[in-house]
Structure 1
Amino acid sequence: MNLHEYQAKTLLREAGVAVPDGRVIRAIEDVDGAIEALGEGPWVMKVQVHAGGRGKAGGVRVVRSADEARSFAEGWLGRRLVTIQTGAAGLPVETLYLEPATRIARELYLSLIIDRATSKVTFIASDAGGMDIEEVAETTPGRIHALSVHPAAGLMPYHARKLAFALGLAGNQAKAFAQMLKGLYEVFTRKDASMLEVNPLAVTESGELVALDAKFVLDSNAGY
């Protein structure tokens, strides 16, 4: 079962993972209340569909005023988004997500998957965030780092240290990264997930780590 971005971020927030505050918009009338709740802009407005490539298809936009936000909502709600993953028919747009824009210094990639051959949770990390990870694997495979966790032992401190070093994180950022890994691993295993992807995992200009986008796939037998 695929979760929308806003649903995935709710689970991450509950697990102690830093995500931007956000508001769900299902009608034009929701826009003003969402902006009032989030405070001063600019904001990022995102179409919520189960497909990648939203940005390239125009489904993600930075908006700097309530008028721009309403215009984006009017242009997408009730329509269909076509990306390279949806096919020509596209997917219906019933929900938008609004959150404050983040000042980004670096973009990283982080995901958790189940290695079916070993039944282990495997972390995949890269310093090439914000990109298609398959493209990174094909063109610059040395920028991808994988690490498996034995289910009996669970996530250990050395796992976090190894991945933090690979991503160029040190000091307080490495400590924050370790806490983030702990939260991600906990919610991934608790929800019987098959895939959890954070792309990008942003290092902000103030040095914080924030999950800016999230894809969460639960086992079909798991409840949300």
Structure 2
Amino acid sequence: MNIHEYQAKEVLKSYGVKIQEGIVADSPEAALEAAKKLTADTGTSWYVLKAQIHAGGRGKGEIKETGSRGVVLAKSLEDVPEKAKDILNGTLVTIQTGEEGKLVKKILVAQDVYYPGNSEPKEYYLSILLDRATGSNIIMASTEGGVNIEEIAESTPEKIIKEWVDPMLGIQPYQARNVAFKLGLEGNAFKEMVKFIMALYAAYDASDASQFEINPVLKTSDDQILAVDAKVNLDDNALYRNKDLAAMRDLDEEDPFEVEAAESGLNYVKLDGNVGCMVNGAGLAMATMDMIKLSGGEPANFLDVGGGANAQTVEAGFRIILKDPKVKAILINVFGGIVRCDRIASGVVEAYKSIGDISVPIIVRLQGTNAEEGAKIIDESGLKVTSAITLKEAAEKVQNVLSA
């Protein structure tokens, strides 16, 4: 589960991570009040206004309606409402949103932290995530802050610092010092970075996160270390024990099909193809999508109805798939193990009748327990449903109906 920057910073601050202070606002008037409070609390006279959407590249992104960037600087209180108006309720298009963009409902009004001082401010990159290859958490850092880590990895991989942390032992102070040293820090900035890394790891571990990415981490002109941006991804499977974090979920930022599927107990991911897929089992679903592509088609979704599929889950799957206007055919691929094929076939027929007229052709491939009985139910239903024996045959039948 992703959360907004302002929420991520709240989590970080609660664990002692120093952040660029900010206040969320949902109107130009609220943005002005937020700026006034920031001046009173921090003394700042410049303000950074940041669109709050679940996507990166906001600073380089553009609001369709006004041409404003997703992150702008207001150099006075008077500038804040107008600049906020240019962002709020606009559609922000970034490299991660696609051309359709995302509606901006909130902005973060943040203090200016790039103030003059004894030294030049310097940006760094820092993230913590799980390294599945080693079963350890890994801290990744770089002196090239403000740049996508993918770009750094491709152009200057030697600038990526890696420190593996045993999740059973947790981070040790020497590991934080090692990272700070390799970043070239010294003096007070070195000490502050060590504290920053230790606190960041504590927040990552306690919140059951799958990823923390701070880009940039800023060394200010007076050697403070601050999180200027924050991307936090939480493990969905651990949200039951982090109810305060689960409450941060913003359903408006998620695909409505995926939200509806989750409410029905289905695992669904929307794709860009034209063949709807309904399968029991994640591995089988991946194989089904591969076979569709090998046969010349394009899967419209990943949909795993689970091992205990019944008429209700099949109907819910149908309804979600059919809401996608790109879907021109549906392939149901079920291996009967825990659930019998005849039960799935009956569920398909019941769901078909419950929904009413389904305009797209449906191909059903059943194998496993009571597969023959299931195929008979499909063939004798009188509905526009075609049965298949092998997965290859099913995929080819889908392609045939699409080409007809």
CA distance in 2: counterparts of 1:183 and 1:207, whole angstroms: 17
Which letter maps to 1:95? K
- Tell me the residue number matched to 1:142: 158
1:146-161 correspondence to structure 2 within 5 Å: 146-161=162-177
- Tell me the residue number matched to 1:218: 234
- Tell me the residue number matched to 1:5: 5
CA-CA distance at 1:132 after TM superposition: 1.2
CA-CA distance at 1:119 after TM superposition: 2.5
TM-score, normalised to structure 1's length? 0.96
SS in 1 for 2:24: strand
Q: Any conservation in 1 of the 2:49–2:72 contact (CA below 8 Å)?
A: yes
Which structure has the larger Rg? 2
Unaligned runs of 5+ in 1: none
TM-score, normalised to structure 2's length? 0.54
CA-CA distance at 1:179 after TM superposition: 1.2
Higher RCO (C-alpha under 8 Å, 6+ residues apart): 1
CA distance in 2: counterparts of 1:159 and 1:87, whole angstroms: 39
CA distance in 1: counterparts of 2:168 and 2:81, whole angstroms: 50
- Tell me the residue number matched to 2:107: 96
Range moving further from structure 2, 62-71 or 198-207: 62-71
2:182 aligned with 1:163:
no
Which letter maps to 2:32? D
CA distance in 1: counterparts of 2:78 and 2:90, whole angstroms: 19
2:218 aligned with 1:206:
no
CA-CA distance at 1:158 after TM superposition: 1.5
| Equivalent residue for 2:91, pick from 80, 84, 102 | 80
Q: How many residues align?
A: 224
CA RMSD of aligned residues (A): 1.2
Q: Any conservation in 2 of the 1:2–1:217 contact (CA below 8 Å)?
A: yes
Unaligned runs of 5+ in 2: 62-68, 115-119, 246-404
- Tell me the residue number matched to 1:195: 211
SS in 2 for 1:198: strand
Q: Any conservation in 2 of the 1:31–1:66 contact (CA below 8 Å)?
A: no
Q: Any conservation in 1 of the 2:126–2:213 contact (CA below 8 Å)?
A: yes
SS in 2 for 1:202: strand
Which letter maps to 2:31? V
CA-CA distance at 1:172 after TM superposition: 2.3
CA-CA distance at 1:9 after TM superposition: 0.5
CA-CA distance at 1:46 after TM superposition: 0.4
Which letter maps to 1:109? Y
Richer in helix (by share): 2
- Tell me the residue number matched to 1:65: 76
CA distance in 1: counterparts of 2:168 and 2:209, whole angstroms: 17
CA distance in 2: counterparts of 1:31 and 1:105, whole angstroms: 26
Q: Any conservation in 2 of the 1:79–1:92 contact (CA below 8 Å)?
A: yes
